[in-house]
């Protein structure tokens, strides 16, 4: 707690310094300097104000404890009751302060590129990939987000071999970032005559949308191929070369986009996906480097890990990372994912807080 208090004192001092700077004539006369100081001031304000409240509670607790020395039994009883209330408020305030000190993920405010691919399980996997896409689309709708399909590959049974979509809205990445991984489904396929339960998998990747300033792509490092768009089974759906395939030569990444009739639009969409994948690769390198020093760092799980199981016979969803089990699977698959999203966010935020407090 001593290290935490020292950090809070430093933040409070910085907050007062910025407050004083914002009132200086030279700061007011320089829009750039004022904007920078105002931004830093607003970021520190919640911590400084919460810390001030904590100090007021500490003072009140000290005064109330002094009242316990009073000879009057009635006053002592009142003071004891008030002390218990104040100490609960102090504990909650300390927890709030710890959460405020956890560094914010710079990607939390970003849109995401959602990639869903059928894994093991053949047609059944492709059908479940389509159901997962519907689940996330319905959840996005409930959040007021916009879903724009960038690319998809249909299977012959009405599912998706692969679907890539851009989801735009407020704090999309902050909500969906823990959805990346292998999703397993256990159920009896409609084509199974003997009623045997099959297990299939679908991979989900949630990538923060990369702006051009985040990832610069050298035109000399990409190869652009055009071809006719195709539908299920490979048949051509138009006779113009509107579909685009971009290969990033240094990494070997390949992105195809054919949903638009315009070659220019398909190229723009493919570049958007490519930037997001390159950003994810760079961030993964950084996470791996950090993981060597801090093995418990949150968010470094391998994509190949099975993160969740959807079990139809038992009507349950289980997230294996946090030991969460929920029933009413049909409700969850209809996009009402708040219990899952909130539980994951709370868990990983707490884990990250533990790591941060080690260094405080």
pLDDT of 234: 47
Per-residue pLDDT tens digits for 229-246 = 665 444 444 556 788 999
Please choose, from the candidates 160, 168, 82, the residue with its C-alpha nearest in 3D space to the C-alpha of residue 115: 160
Residue 359 inside a domain? The answer is no
| pLDDT, the chain, mean | 85
- Tell me: do 197 and 70 sit in the same domain: no
Most confident of 1-10, 35-44, 297-306: 35-44
User: What is the pLDDT at residue 297?
Assistant: 29
pTM to 2 decimal places: 0.66
By residue count, the chain amounts to 360
Strands (E), 172-294: 181-187, 198-208, 222-227, 243-248, 253-257
Final residue of a domain: which of 101, 134, 161? 101
Last residue of a domain, one of 76, 101, 126: 101
| Residues 267, 204 within the same domain | yes
Q: 95-99, 158-162, 220-224, 332-336: lowest mean pLDDT where?
A: 95-99
Q: Are residues 116 and 86 in the same domain?
A: no
CATH of the domain at 329: 3.30.70.1660
Strands (E) in 169-323, as ranges, are: 181-187, 198-208, 222-227, 243-248, 253-257, 306-311, 316-319
Contacts of 330 (CB under 8 A, 6+ apart): 315
Helix (H) or strand (E) holding 114: strand 112-118
CA distance 229 to 201: 28
Reply yes or no on whether the pLDDT at 189 is more than 90.
no
113 pLDDT band, cuts 50/70/90, is very high
Any domain includes 94? yes
**For residues 209 and 299, what is the distance between their CA atoms, to the nearest angstrom?**
17
The range of the structural domain enclosing residue 71 comes to: 2-101
Any domain includes 297 = no
């Amino acid at each position: 707690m001593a290290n935490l208090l020292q950090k809070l004192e430093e933040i409070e001092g910085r907050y007062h310094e910025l407050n004083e700077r914002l009132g200086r004539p030279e700061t007011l006369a320089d829009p750039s300097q004022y904007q920078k100081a105002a931004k830093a001031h607003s970021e520190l304000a919640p911590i400084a104000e919460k810390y001030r409240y904590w100090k007021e509670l500490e003072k009140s607790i000290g005064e109330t404890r002094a009242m316990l020395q009073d000879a009057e039994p009635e006053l002592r009883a009142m003071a004891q009751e008030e002390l218990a209330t104040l100490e609960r408020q102090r504990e909650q305030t300390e927890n709030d302060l710890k959460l405020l000190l956890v560094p914010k993920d710079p990607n939390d405010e970003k849109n995401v590129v959602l990639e869903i691919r059928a894994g093991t399980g053949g047609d059944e996997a492709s059908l479940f990939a389509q159901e997962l896409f519907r689940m996330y689309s319905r959840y996005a709708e409930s959040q007021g987000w916009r879903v724009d399909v960038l690319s998809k590959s249909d299977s012959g049974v009405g599912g998706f071999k692969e679907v890539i979509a851009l989801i735009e809205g407020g704090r999309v990445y902050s909500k969906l970032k823990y959805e990346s991984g292998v999703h397993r489904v256990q159920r009896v396929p409609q084509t199974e005559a003997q009623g045997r339960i099959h297990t299939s998998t679908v991979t989900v990747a949630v990538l923060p949308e990369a702006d051009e300033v985040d990832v610069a792509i050298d035109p000399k490092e990409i190869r652009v191929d055009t071809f006719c768009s195709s539908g299920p089974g490979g048949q051509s759906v138009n006779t113009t070369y509107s579909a685009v395939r971009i290969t990033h030569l240094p990494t070997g990444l390949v992105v195809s986009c054919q949903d638009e009739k315009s070659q220019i639009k398909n190229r723009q969409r493919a570049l958007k996906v490519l930037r997001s994948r390159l950003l994810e690769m760079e961030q993964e390198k950084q996470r791996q480097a950090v993981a060597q020093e801090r093995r418990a760092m949150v968010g470094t799980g391998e994509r190949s890990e099975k993160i969740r199981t959807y079990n139809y016979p038992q009507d349950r969803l289980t997230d294996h990372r946090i030991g969460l089990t929920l029933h009413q699977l049909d409700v969850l698959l209809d996009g009402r994912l708040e219990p899952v999203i909130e539980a994951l966010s709370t868990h990983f935020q707490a884990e990250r807080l533990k790591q941060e407090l080690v260094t405080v």
